[in-house]
Chains A and B, each alone.
Chain A
Amino acid sequence: MRFSAAGASTDTSAFTACFNRHVDSVRVTAYLLCRDRHRAEDLTQAAFLKLYLAWSRLDEHEHLDSYLRKVVVREFLTDRRRAWWRRESGVDEPPESPVVEPDREDRVVLWDLISALPPRQRAVLVLRFWQDLDVNDTAAALGCAPGTVKSQTSKALAALRARLSEGRESYAR
């Protein structure tokens, strides 16, 4: 299916339908990458804006998922590299923070540790373990070599293990 439509109204309706279909997935991916609700919205808008600007050049409807994923991840990584004074960051916590139940505590702690990882390692974990992408697709989304994905995954898992063991030791003391 080709998206180069006959008129602007066709483009607008097709784009709106695509937005409604993919926005939830893009938004959650952005949130898992940056752990900031407002920044996740900014990333989502930036991804769909790029999609709109490239709309007439896109050929395959099936590739929209991977295209949006790639745009979100790269926008996140690019935004992280920007100068700190040009980057806005939320300072307040969400008004209604989830109540941590005992059986969920480990997952919340692990989520905190994942959020503390460097951006590239976090992106690798989100793409591989939440989006269930293989090494090649993850590398395509990140724009790097498959070997880099493997090494980043290994480093991220090692860092998580080390921090978890540190936490357990300090808790035991």
Chain B
Amino acid sequence: MHADDIRAALDQAEQDYRPTGAADPTAIIERGRRIQRRRRTAAITASAFTVVGVLAASFALMRPEPVPPAVPGPAPSVEPVTTVENSPVPRTPQMSPIPGTTPAPGPSGSPCCSITVVP
């Protein structure tokens, strides 16, 4: 068995071969275009679904936490209200005239405009 024997057998088979000739470039091109269109559509659909999914996931993650319902706090304590009149802090003392001084009436009759000192 030599390589030439195999070569001769394959050459003989090639000579005896009669192709059916069914392969047609136009049909192949048409089929190829259909496949390309299908792939393009699938890619666009997949991209759209991916974008929508990513957006939905980001919205779900970024949504603020729900505010819990208001809970009533502790009851306010009742304390006596301190008014100025009842306050223990003494009020400003009333000014008393200095002995030996007489408030001189002012031109308008106001006693606090000038002080006359009596020797």
**Does B31 interact with chain A (Cβ within 8 Å)?**
yes
Q: In the complex, what residues of A have CB within 8 A of residue B25's CB? A: 15-16, 19-20, 48
| Residue of B whose beta carbon sits closest to that of A162 | B1
Distance (Å) between the CB of A95 and the closest chain B CB?
A: 9
**Does B63 interact with chain A (Cβ within 8 Å)?**
no
B23, A27: Cβ atoms under 8 Å? yes
List 15 other contacts, CB 8 Å, given A32-B14, A107-B11: A16-B26, A28-B17, A31-B14, A31-B17, A32-B10, A40-B17, A44-B23, A107-B5, A107-B9, A108-B9, A110-B6, A111-B10, A125-B6, A129-B6, A130-B11
Distance (Å) between the CB of B47 and the closest chain A CB?
A: 20
Tell me if B's interface is mostly helix, strand, loop or mixed.
Answer: helix
B10, A130: Cβ atoms under 8 Å? yes
B14, A28: Cβ atoms under 8 Å? yes
Distance A15 CA – B29 CA, assembled complex (angstroms): 8
Q: In the complex, what residues of B have CB within 8 A of residue A126's CB? A: 10
**Does B7 interact with chain A (Cβ within 8 Å)?**
yes
A129, B7: Cβ atoms under 8 Å? yes
Q: Which of B1, B8, B19, B31 contacts A107 (CB 8 A)?
A: B8
Interfacial residues, chain A to chain B (CB-CB below 8 A): 12, 15-16, 19-20, 23, 27-28, 31-32, 35, 37-38, 40-41, 44-45, 48-49, 52-53, 94, 96, 98, 104, 106-108, 110-111, 114, 125-126, 129-130, 157, 160-161, 164
B10, A129: Cβ atoms under 8 Å? yes
A41, B20: Cβ atoms under 8 Å? yes
A-B contact count (CB 8 A): 92
| Residue of A whose beta carbon sits closest to that of B6 | A129
Q: Which of B1, B6, B14, B32 contacts A53 (CB 8 A)?
A: B32
Q: In the complex, what residues of B have CB within 8 A of residue A38's CB? A: 20, 22
Q: In the complex, what residues of A have CB within 8 A of residue B1's CB? A: 157, 160-161, 164
Distance (Å) between the CB of A123 and the closest chain B CB?
A: 12
Q: Which of B3, B7, B23 contacts A45 (CB 8 A)?
A: B23
Distance A49 CA – B36 CA, assembled complex (angstroms): 11
Distance A53 CA – B33 CA, assembled complex (angstroms): 8
Distance A49 CA – B23 CA, assembled complex (angstroms): 10
A52, B6: Cβ atoms under 8 Å? no
| Residue of A whose beta carbon sits closest to that of B12 | A107
Report 29 cross-chain contacts, Cβ distance below 8 Å, ordered by A residue: A15-B25, A15-B29, A16-B29, A19-B28, A27-B19, A28-B17, A31-B14, A31-B19, A32-B14, A35-B13, A37-B17, A37-B18, A38-B20, A41-B19, A45-B22, A45-B23, A49-B35, A53-B35, A94-B18, A104-B12, A106-B5, A107-B8, A107-B11, A108-B9, A110-B6, A111-B10, A114-B6, A129-B10, A130-B10
